């Protein structure tokens, strides 16, 4: 897959963003926030990157081999290949209970997730010219109000197993600067998809970003596949394909009212959600004696109403929809029916791996010592260069 992306005046000799340009894309940062590109890379060379994403829906690990090239006023990108590696069942179960795990189990999960990702990357990179891995990791805790966020998946183990340098831990710097640490994808959208103004990702969490008049905003809207998959699994399915089970159900008015009344939805952006919020706030509401199909139908209506409402509030006439939920034709139909914004659906490959593609790009920016996180989106005190680097030697 090839695409064209918005490009911000990159100096190919230094690898830096000019400070005036940085200010134009969402705030200003001092000159000390740029630094010399990594010595392993010649500044004018752009490595092929493996982007790795493990979302909160826990359906698998997305891998995308991505090539990026500056092209005049834009970047071009090529997705050479993409693959979703199923999450090992035992690891998935442990991750589902990770928020209540003791310290030793959390350390083991960090190691084991790194080994799983590293092994997947080692196999995936065979026969390619991959030179860098950008791994989001798996979020266990996300509480920016307390100044913390935790994505596990040991970068050291990934580097050791793959033999490639690894960029990971993308969110912590922004949180340390007072930001939400999320969403990070809008920066990549600004660079990669200039033809679109609004974006909706229907992953474990539904989030929205809007690009207008040189300003980028983005925030989490509500849980999505976290809730839908949980109820589908209660009905004996891994997920509700095309929303078929939800389509056969009936909206439960009392449940819908309870869901819509959750205080989070009254918070102004920037705002973000973590798995622990879902477990504590929403999960108890959707448990109950009503048939799974009716609870699914109600949750679909809840998600659709919130997404449609936020698109309307932002004045969006259309939006590019990606993430696993974009394959749910019933959910997409309800979003369209409840709002005025047209859902635009790209190729199945891009629906599945847009976030892996964008984290590959964020990793590339970190590798080159360039801003990859926008304060206008996260609420941080300034733009920043997020990500820790692990070298294989």
Residue 76 is predicted with a pLDDT of 81
Reported CATH class of domain 2-192+352-390: alpha beta
CATH number of 198-349: 3.30.420.40
Residue 72 is predicted with a pLDDT of 65
The arrangement of strands across the sheet holding 318-322 comes to 215-223, 205-212, 198-202, 318-322, 342-344
pLDDT, averaged per 10 consecutive residues of the chain (393 residues), comes to 40 32 29 37 76 88 95 80 96 95 98 98 98 97 96 98 98 98 94 92 96 89 97 96 98 98 96 94 96 98 98 97 97 98 96 96 95 95 98 93
Residue 27 is predicted with a pLDDT of 31
Span(s) in the chain for CATH 3.30.420.40: 2-192+352-390, 198-349
């Amino acid at each position: 897959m090839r695409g064209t992306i918005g490009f911000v005046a990159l100096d190919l000799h230094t690898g830096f963003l000019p400070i005036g340009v940085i200010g134009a894309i969402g705030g200003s940062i001092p000159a000390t926030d740029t630094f010399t590109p990594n010595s392993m890379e010649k500044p004018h060379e752009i490595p092929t990157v493996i982007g790795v994403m493990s979302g909160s829906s826990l359906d698998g690990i997305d891998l995308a081999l991505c090539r990026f090239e500056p092209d005049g006023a834009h970047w071009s990108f090529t997705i050479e290949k993409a693959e979703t590696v199923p999450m090992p069942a035992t690891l998935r179960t442990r991750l589902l209970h990770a928020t209540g795990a003791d310290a030793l189990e959390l350390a083991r999960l960090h190691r084991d997730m790194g080994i799983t990702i590293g092994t997947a990357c080692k196999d995936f990179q065979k026969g390619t010219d991959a030179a860098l891995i950008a791994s989001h990791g798996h979020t266990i805790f996300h509480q920016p109000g307390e100044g913390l966020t935790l994505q596990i998946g040991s970068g050291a183990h990934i580097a050791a197993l793959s033999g490639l340098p690894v960029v990971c831990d993308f969110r912590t710097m922004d949180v340390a600067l007072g930001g939400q640490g999320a969403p990070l994808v809008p920066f990549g959208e600004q660079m990669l998809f200039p033809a679109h103004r609004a974006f909706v990702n229907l992953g474990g969490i539904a989030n929205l970003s809007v690009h207008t008049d040189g300003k980028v905003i983005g925030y989490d809207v509500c849980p999505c596949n976290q809730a839908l998959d949980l109820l589908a699994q209660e009905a004996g399915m891994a997920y509700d394909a095309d929303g078929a089970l939800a389509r056969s159900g009936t909206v439960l008015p009392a449940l819908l009212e309870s869901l819509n009344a959750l205080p989070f939805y009254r918070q102004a952006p920037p705002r973000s959600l973590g798995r622990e919020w879902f477990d504590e706030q929403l999960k108890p509401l959707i448990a109950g004696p009503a048939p799974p199909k009716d609870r699914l139908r109600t949750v679909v209506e809840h998600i659709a109403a919130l997404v449609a409402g936020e698109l309307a509030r932002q004045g969006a006439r259309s939006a590019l929809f990606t993430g696993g939920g974009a394959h749910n034709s019933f959910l997409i139909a309800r979003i369209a029916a409840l709002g005025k914004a047209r859902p635009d659906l790209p190729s199945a490959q891009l629906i599945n791996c847009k976030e892996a593609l964008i984290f590959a790009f964020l990793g590339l920016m970190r590798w080159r010592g360039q801003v990859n996180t926008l304060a206008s989106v996260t609420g941080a005190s300034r733009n920043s260069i997020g990500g820790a680097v692990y070298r294989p030697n």
